[in-house]
Amino acid sequence: MKKVLVIDDSAFMRRLFTKTINNDPELEVIDTARNGKKGLEKIKKLNPDVITLDVEMPVKNGLETLEEIVKMDDPVQVIMVSAVDNRETVLTALDLGAFDFIPKPSGSISLNIDDIKESLVQKLKTAANYKGSKVKDKDDFKKPEPVTYKKPKRKIKKTKGDFPIIAVGSSSGGPKALKKFITAFPNDFPGAIIIVQHMPAGFTKSLADRLDQESNLNVKEAEENDSLKPGLTLIAPGGKHLEFDQKGKITLNKKDTKWGVRPCVDYMMETLAPIYKENIIGVILTGMGHDGAEGMEEIKKYNGYGIVEDKSTALVYGMPSSTIKKGAYDDILPLNEIPAQITDIIERRF
């Protein structure tokens, strides 16, 4: 049984989260707190496995509380709880070391909780069971020990004319990983990048805007009828699946979730693969669940290249592990080596 501490200034939200979390046999809310100051006191006293932390609170808000948590000798994992209005704060919290976040229920809360309860419980379990270091390495690109993989690299055939497409899937831990990934490319990067990051509606635009400011590339949230272009990075909008039509134009839809998520990496890759074929380099980064494995299979089917993030740098290894189990990859690399490998592939292939 994993111990959960709920920190939220709303008494209603504390009751709602407590009821939802306690319905799962593997989780137990051991206490609640109405602000960050009280929450910090209870963290030290109760030693929870994971906490939910509201962003907006009196006395000490979520970001201030998180800053103190990550400085602890044995910091607890944190799931931020935020309204869409606080999306910039959420991205900052993820940079600071929050494990993940969920959108705060809005509107008819008693009904809306059903939309997030599965995600809430899943993220709490994943965070509580996380076996990696809780203290974030200041040097996120510290090179791991070299690893030799048994699976041989296939010979790369040179293609002519078309530009490379980098198709990326990520989930938990993704925003921080994407920042490291995207900022590694120069402004004359010849490829187009398309990203599906599991995030709710309203948060992906802020992520795209932030990456656009911090990187050398042009980054924006994808829109209906957008096309892939060299030097352009598109991010699927939260709450919508991103697919490609036969002409290579982006189409957005709200059909049922797959793997419990929308947008879905599989849908993006499966519709992209038949169009760009061997011009695609598929990349699966950190994330929980199974999304992306089937999409990478489709990329490999059309002779595209596949790269999976290594366990040494991934916050959560669900998506990478699922892809590896299907054999839908060419390389398994730590995050800091992936951009260089992509550049090398492009130089040899285009």
Catalytic residues, by residue number, are 171, 198, 291
240: nearest Cα among 254, 259, 222: 254
Q: Taking each helix axis as running N to C, give the angle between helix 174-182 and helix 87-96, from 0 to 180 degrees, rounded to the nearest 10.
A: 80
Ramachandran angles phi, psi of 240, nearest 5°: -135, 140
User: By the 8 A CB rule, do 141 and 183 touch?
Assistant: no
- Token pair 């690109």: residue: 141
User: By the 8 A CB rule, do 72 and 40 touch?
Assistant: no
Written as six digits, the tokens of 49 are 């496995």
Q: How far apart are CA 115 and CA 92, in angstroms?
A: 25
The CA-based angle 333-71-27, given to 5 degrees, is 75
- Token pair 């910091």: residue: 75
Hey, how many other C-beta atoms are within 10 angstroms of the C-beta on 121? 17
Q: How far apart are CA 230 and CA 182, in angstroms?
A: 14
